[in-house]
Amino acid sequence: MADLSVTVDGLRLPNPFVIGSGPPGTNANVIAKAFDEGWGAVIAKTVSLDAAKVVNVQPRYARMRIQKEIVGWQNIELISDRPFDTWIEEFKQVKAKYPDRVLIASIMEEYKKEAWVEIVERCQAAGVDAFELNFSCPHGLPERKMGSAMGQNPELLQEVCSWVNAASSVPVWAKMTPNITNIQDPARAALKGGCEGISAINTILCVMGVDLKTLRPEPTVEGYTTPGGYSCRAVRPIALRMVMECARMMQGEFPGRSVSGIGGVETGEDAAQFILLGASTVQVCTGVMIHGYKLIHELTKQLAAFMDSHNFKTIDDFRGHSLQYFTTHADLVRRQAEARAADRARVDGMVTKDTQWTGDKFVEQSDKLVSNQ
């Protein structure tokens, strides 16, 4: 029987499935629902000290479908618009009701040391078990150097991570933006700044499409829109590639640090792929918005079935297993040439049809057909 429990950076989870920061963790009520259904951990929707500056619009989502299936999801939603003091009270309530479950605060602030330190200290005092630093929201508030505007600058990111880790006594993960040329650079900076782990990836900046009747881009708000974050199944190949790149870098430079994989997870098999590429946990956000909190039951059942099919007893038995099979294109060419040369050597001079036997080389031809030389 597969054991789905994991211990990551000292945090013990009953399974590796984590509610990703966003609407599924937007208040104490839905966080409680997630814990009641059996999710391994919950990352609350991103909070900041001054929620008054956060003003959401409606509508703020757009979907991409293939036939009736939702494969892509765009959002132009901002971080939490609820007062920080309210969040502090709700963090306390959740931890009082679920003292043994893992509650992670997602936090985002401007480039001000005192703001980051304050938000860490107050959330920590409320009992949260870890932090995820949102360096990756691709839209909204870029003029304040928040979200991906900060995450795209490794030097800035490392400095902020160092502020947070100096103030925090619980694990800290940095959430990576995919809207960058090389995700290893900000990931490396976060780890140098003291973070125990990274989360990858957040949403990909996109334009979902244009309505060919109205000629307006979607989602349309009073006739206008702004680029937003793309998620759901269609982003999974990109997310897998970036998780792989981070995990390989961390193997060599930061052994023992963790990766939380994010991007299009809707099945246990999806999760298994992220774990095979080095993830210790797997986050789900859009999947919950489409399928609901009860999705966790299918996720755990499917992941356990995968593990049983390979006789894996624990998550660590296969975590990172597939990383060894990545190499360079030049190495692929070399390997293929060597394999073809070996095939030719085996076939060269070997009788494949009865008409090829000759009397003069009969013994030599017989020897070449012997398998146990």
Q: Residue 365 corresponds to which tokens in the numbers above?
A: 């031809």
Q: How far apart are CA 224 and CA 142, in angstroms?
A: 19
List Cβ neighbours of 324 (8 Å cut-off, separation of 6 or more). Answer: none
Q: How far apart are CA 159 and CA 190, in angstroms?
A: 9
List Cβ neighbours of 50 (8 Å cut-off, separation of 6 or more). Answer: 84
Give the dihedral of Cα atoms 125, 82, 218, 181; nearest 10 deg: -20
Q: How far apart are CA 110 and CA 141, in angstroms?
A: 9
Q: Which of 176, 303, 294 is nearest to 239 (CA)?
A: 176
List Cβ neighbours of 229 (8 Å cut-off, separation of 6 or more). Answer: 74, 75, 76, 137, 138, 139, 202, 203, 204, 205, 206
Pairing of strands 281-284, 258-262: parallel
Cross-strand pairs, 133: 107, 174
Q: Residue 336 corresponds to which tokens in the numbers above?
A: 């293929």
Q: How far apart are CA 128 and CA 123, in angstroms?
A: 6
Q: Which of 124, 121, 183, 196 is nearest to 151 (CA)?
A: 183
Degrees (nearest 5) of the Cα angle 183, 72, 240? 35
Q: Residue 114 corresponds to which tokens in the numbers above?
A: 């005192």
Would you give the distance in Å from CA 207 to the centre of its chain? 22
Q: Residues for the chain: how many in total?
A: 373
| Whether residue 137 lies in the annotated active site | yes
Positive or negative CA dihedral for 121, 126, 130, 131? negative
Q: Residue 57 corresponds to which tokens in the numbers above?
A: 């619009």
Q: How far apart are CA 30 and CA 40, in angstroms?
A: 14
Catalytic hit among 137, 195, 232, 285: 137
Q: Which residues are catalytic?
A: 137
